[in-house]
C-alpha cells in the first residue's frame, strides 16, 4: 500500500477534522477525492476491499481500511491493508473511525523515480 501511494506521487496524507458522514479517500495519481462510504460502513476490511476494487473497476487498486472495531472506537483498532497487513498496536484504526474515514484506496502509475534495483523493488512490492 505504501509503495502504491508513492507511485501515485504522494509522500504523506494529513487528515484534519471529522467528516459529517462516512467517507473513503480515493487517490489515482494526481487526483484525490473523498467519496461517500455509507455503503461500506459496518463491513469488514475484507468486504470493504472487495467492494472498492469492484466499484472502482480496478483489481490493482490498493486498499487500507478499518473494520467494525475502528468504526466503534475500540482503542486498539487496527488498520488493515492488502487483506492481511495490520497496523494494530497504535490504535490508528480508532483515529480513522473517529474521523468517519473508512478507507483509503490508492492507484499509482507514475513510478517512484530512480531506483537502484527496480527488479528487486517490484519483487517486494507485488
For the stretch 63-89, pLDDT in tens is: 999 999 999 999 999 999 998 899 888
Handedness of CA 65, 13, 26, 59 (dihedral sign): negative
pLDDT for res 42: 97
The predicted model scores a pTM of 0.87
pLDDT for res 111: 79
Number of alpha carbons in the 13 Å side-chain half-sphere of residue 123: 4
Sheet containing strand 23-28, strands side by side: 31-36, 23-28, 101-107, 62-65, 79-81, 85-87
d(CA 95, CA 38) in angstroms, rounded, equals 18
Cell triple for 68: 467494525
pLDDT for res 120: 83
> What CATH number should be reported for the domain whose range is 2-63+100-125?
3.60.9.10
pLDDT for res 44: 97
Would you say residue 116 has pLDDT above 90?
A: no
User: pLDDT for 7-53, tens place per residue?
Assistant: 998 888 999 999 999 999 999 999 999 999 999 999 999 999 999 99
3-class secondary structure, 31? strand
pLDDT for res 124: 80
Task: Decide which of 34 and 2 is more confident.
Answer: 34
Amino acid at each position: 500500500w505504501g509503495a502504491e501511494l508513492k507511485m501515485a506521487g504522494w509522500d504523506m496524507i494529513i487528515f484534519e477534522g471529522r467528516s459529517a458522514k462516512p467517507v473513503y479517500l480515493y487517490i489515482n495519481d494526481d487526483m484525490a477525492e473523498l467519496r461517500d462510504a455509507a455503503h461500506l460502513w459496518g463491513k469488514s476490511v475484507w468486504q470493504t476491499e472487495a467492494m472498492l476494487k469492484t466499484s472502482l473497476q480496478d483489481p490493482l487498486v490498493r486498499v487500507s481500511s478499518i473494520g467494525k472495531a475502528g468504526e466503534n472506537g475500540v482503542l486498539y483498532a487496527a488498520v488493515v491493508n492488502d487483506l492481511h497487513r495490520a497496523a494494530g498496536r497504535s490504535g490508528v484504526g480508532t483515529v480513522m473511525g473517529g474521523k468517519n474515514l473508512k478507507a483509503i484506496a490508492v492507484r499509482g502509475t507514475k513510478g517512484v523515480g530512480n531506483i537502484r534495483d527496480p527488479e528487486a523493488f517490484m519483487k517486494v512490492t507485488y
